[in-house]
Amino acid sequence: MNKIFLIFGGLLLSTILANGQATISPAKAQSKPVIIKGGTIHVGNGQVINNGYVAFDKGKITAIGEGAAANTAGADVIDATGKQIYPGFICPITTLGLIEIGEGARGTVDDEETGDLNPNVRSIVAYNTDSKVIPTVRSNGILLAQPTPNGGTISGQSSVVQLDAWNWQDAAYKTDIGIHLTWPVARVQNRRRGVPTPGVPQESPAEKAQKAIDEIENLFNEAKAYADIAKPEVTNIRLEAMKGLFNGAKKLFVNADGAKEIVQAVNFGKKMGIQVVIVGGNESYLVTEVLKDNNIPVILKETQRLPDKDEDDVYLPYKLPKMLQDAGVLYGLTGIGFWRQRNLPFEAGEAVGYGLTKEQAISMITINNAKILGIDKTTGTLEVGKDANLFISKGDALDMISIDVDNAFIQGRNINLDNLHKQLYRKFADKYGVKADL
């Protein structure tokens, strides 16, 4: 009987999701040149072009500059006078497309596997291009993302996707760029029930953490030895997935917040000869010299939060990007989870009030994130030869009040910016006779 109810509930949920959502098809390939003129162009590398133009054809940027475009024959011309032009924002370390309903609907959650060591798991094959959350995110200028697996000590591999596609194969922008590891932390666990068994030795938190670190080192030593074999007689899918770490094809994204854990992760990367990226890095400001000397980038998680420790400056999360900027550490920014990623530009905007310039904040979620993800040769800034990933906003894209994205392009394709939120707004605006401008 319970199975019947579960099946019925699942079918009902699927019906609600199917019938209550917007129908938005991916855009077709760019068919003719496009020129956007008259706007303020934020290149992404700190440069600003006033009253500029950007031209692109066949998905690539062909020209950018100040004033009028030299040749507009045969091109679609978009007048962006009084508007702002930005590179597409990039969201790393996210469960976007892997989770549809965060709580209470297990059938819509596909971001982790069982077990602790899963380097062979590929999040890209679970990425759902039909997610109704994706259009709400790209409506705020976020055009690329890095769907990332969770769970266990080694969660699996992530890829970069562009957010307008029919399926995961179409979405794939750069596949299997890194493996994700959660660094062990020596902390006291609360005992909700039960007492230690008399006569049985109890491991301290430090001993448990060191044991986990030893297991990680053993696995990586095995993987390194396996990578040195040109043609293994027997294929080990876990070790095969880790080969790229040792030849530079993949990076190791390490979740670590404490200064001690960050230093341990950096030293581990040096020992193994692999590229490490720190994810989280709440105490990264305490070890900036270590990070800079070893060329270790940091992907910060949210600015709109409270600090971890009561004794910390309450504004520390807002100030952290500026601290890393001043220390010369490469840093990027992500948000939390999946639907909240639409707030990514506003998270970046918070840092402007605490030391960053506006262009530095834009770089944080464009070229900085692109460099960390290894896609900076094709995107992250508006430069000739790069993919035409950009959008136009009527107002400041880092300000939640004035942002108003009215055109967005992914690889030159003019994408549909409608979403369920806008449809609901129009629906009830019509009901109450309110003029809707969405």
Higher pLDDT, 198 or 386: 386
pLDDT of 394 above 70: yes
Q: Is the model's pLDDT at 341 over the cut of 50?
A: yes
| 257-310 pLDDT per residue, tens | 999 999 999 999 999 999 999 999 999 999 999 999 999 999 999 898 888 888
335 pLDDT more than 90: no
Q: How confident is the model at residue 366 (pLDDT cuts 50, 70, 90)?
A: very high
Residue 208 has pLDDT above 70, yes or no: yes
At 270 the pLDDT is 97
Q: How far is CA 212 from CA 52, 152, 154, 217, in A?
A: 55, 11, 11, 9
pLDDT tens-digit readout, 97-111: 998 887 767 778 887
Does residue 10 register a pLDDT over 50?
no
pLDDT at 425: 87
Residue among 390, 284, 304, 402 nearest 354 (CA): 304
Give yes or no for residue 321 having a pLDDT over 70: yes
pLDDT of residue 196: 61
The rounded mean pLDDT for the chain is 90
pLDDT, average across residues 114-118: 89
Interval 130-167: pLDDT, tens: 999 999 999 999 999 999 999 999 999 999 999 999 99
What does residue 47 show for φ and ψ, rounded to 5 degrees? -80, 140
pTM reported for the whole predicted model: 0.90
Task: Work out the average pLDDT over 376-387.
Answer: 98
Please give the pLDDT value at position 14.
45
Mean pLDDT confidence for 428-438: 84
Contact 426, 438 (CB under 8 A): yes
Strand partners, 430: none
In 339-404, which ranges are E strands?
A: 390-393
The DSSP bridge pattern shows strands 34-42 and 48-57 to be: antiparallel
Task: Read off the pLDDT band of 13 (50, 70, 90).
Answer: very low
For the purposes of burial, counting CB atoms within 10 Å of the CB of 6, is it exposed (0-12), middle (13-18) or buried (19 or more)?
A: exposed
